[in-house]
């Protein structure tokens, strides 16, 4: 197991990038609970690296509309027993932009909990690529892993590409993943029309329904 020098969160640097992004590097120490809610509309590049120690929890929720090319990179190492992490995103891509989301989680501790839930609604001719990779070491004897990618396409040329990967080197961990990419169903639109809801409002209701459950953190937006 790699060892990391512990330091207070106040010493964890946020490095501003010239293109409107930031780098966040943190240690979530024993027993701490840390959450961040980030507005992707304010940052074209988001890079987060974290080490989560025993009995600590980390939640990172990215929201907003993507109107220029954006990269979201979250790399988390779980190095303490009974730690918990949650990585979520709930975003819309619009126009002719590309958004790359990359989540990389390395689990080297027992009884850990990892949840990754990325949801994207792609409008117009925008593109989103979502990579979720979780590696669990052979020495780990308990834990729960759940990953999900959900995409909805609004526009004939919009695209969402899902690249999930679970590398579980032990049979002592419960792991599952789900992927769903689709357009709004004709039956859902027909149901809304039968209730007097016009097409634009119906599309907004359907996409909001996909995005709203992705997270519930209420911490300040970075």
The predicted pLDDT at position 15 comes to 43
The predicted pLDDT at position 4 comes to 35
Q: Same domain, yes or no, for 108 and 195? A: no
Q: Same domain, yes or no, for 56 and 146? A: yes
Q: Same domain, yes or no, for 195 and 129? A: no
- C-alpha–C-alpha distance, residues 47 and 22, integer Å: 6
Asked whether residue 2 is assigned to any structural domain, the reply reads no
Look over the chain and give the mean of its residue pLDDT values, rounded to a whole number. 86
Rg (CA), the chain: 18
Q: Quote the distance between the C-alpha of residue 166 and its chain's center.
A: 15
| Residue 213 banded pLDDT, cuts 50, 70, 90 | low
The answer to whether residue 3 scores a pLDDT higher than 50 is no
Check residue 206 and report its DSSP letter. Answer: H
Check residue 220 and report its DSSP letter. Answer: P
- Identify the domain containing residue 208 by its residue range: 185-214
Q: Same domain, yes or no, for 117 and 207? A: no
- C-alpha–C-alpha distance, residues 157 and 214, integer Å: 25
Q: Same domain, yes or no, for 179 and 148? A: yes
Asked whether residue 222 is assigned to any structural domain, the reply reads no
Asked whether residue 205 is assigned to any structural domain, the reply reads yes
Check residue 138 and report its DSSP letter. Answer: T
**Tokens representing 173?**
């961990």
Q: Same domain, yes or no, for 51 and 129? A: yes
For 161-199, the pLDDT digits (tens) are 999 999 999 999 999 999 999 998 889 889 889 989 988
Q: Same domain, yes or no, for 170 and 209? A: no
Q: Same domain, yes or no, for 22 and 40? A: yes
- C-alpha–C-alpha distance, residues 10 and 124, integer Å: 41
Indicate the pairing of strand 57-66 with strand 84-93: parallel
Q: Are 60 and 34 in contact (CB under 8 A)?
A: no
The answer to whether residue 86 scores a pLDDT higher than 80 is yes
CA distances (Å), origin 78, targets 42, 43, 154, 181, 217: 28, 26, 37, 29, 21
Q: Same domain, yes or no, for 174 and 189? A: no
The answer to whether residue 216 scores a pLDDT higher than 50 is no
Q: Same domain, yes or no, for 177 and 202? A: no
- C-alpha–C-alpha distance, residues 180 and 151, integer Å: 6
The predicted pLDDT at position 218 comes to 36
Domains in the chain, number: 2
Asked whether residue 4 is assigned to any structural domain, the reply reads no
Q: Same domain, yes or no, for 96 and 189? A: no
Average pLDDT over residues 73-93: 96
**Tokens representing 92?**
């819309």
């Amino acid at each position: 197991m790699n060892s990391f020098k512990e330091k207070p969160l106040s010493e964890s640097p946020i490095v501003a990038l010239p293109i409107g992004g930031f780098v966040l590097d943190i240690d979530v120490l024993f027993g701490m609970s840390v959450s961040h809610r980030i507005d992707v509309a304010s940052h074209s590049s988001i890079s987060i690296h974290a080490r989560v120690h025993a009995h600590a929890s980390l939640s990172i929720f990215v929201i907003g509309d993507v109107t220029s090319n954006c990269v979201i990179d979250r790399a988390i190492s779980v190095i303490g027993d009974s730690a918990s992490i949650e990585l979520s995103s709930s975003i819309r891509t619009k126009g002719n932009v590309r958004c790359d989301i990359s989540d990389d989680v390395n689990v080297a501790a027992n009884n850990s909990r990892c949840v990754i839930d990325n949801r994207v609604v792609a409008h117009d001719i925008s593109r989103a690529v979502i990579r979720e990779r979780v590696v669990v070491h052979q020495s780990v004897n308990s834990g729960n892993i759940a990953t999900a990618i959900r995409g909805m396409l609004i526009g004939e040329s919009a695209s969402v590409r899902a690249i999930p990967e679970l590398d579980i080197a032990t049979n002592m961990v419960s792991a599952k993943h789900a992927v769903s990419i689709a357009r709004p169903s004709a039956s859902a639109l027909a149901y809304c029309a039968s209730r007097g809801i016009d097409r634009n409002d119906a599309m907004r209701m359907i996409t909001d329904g996909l995005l709203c459950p992705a997270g519930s953190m209420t911490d300040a937006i970075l």
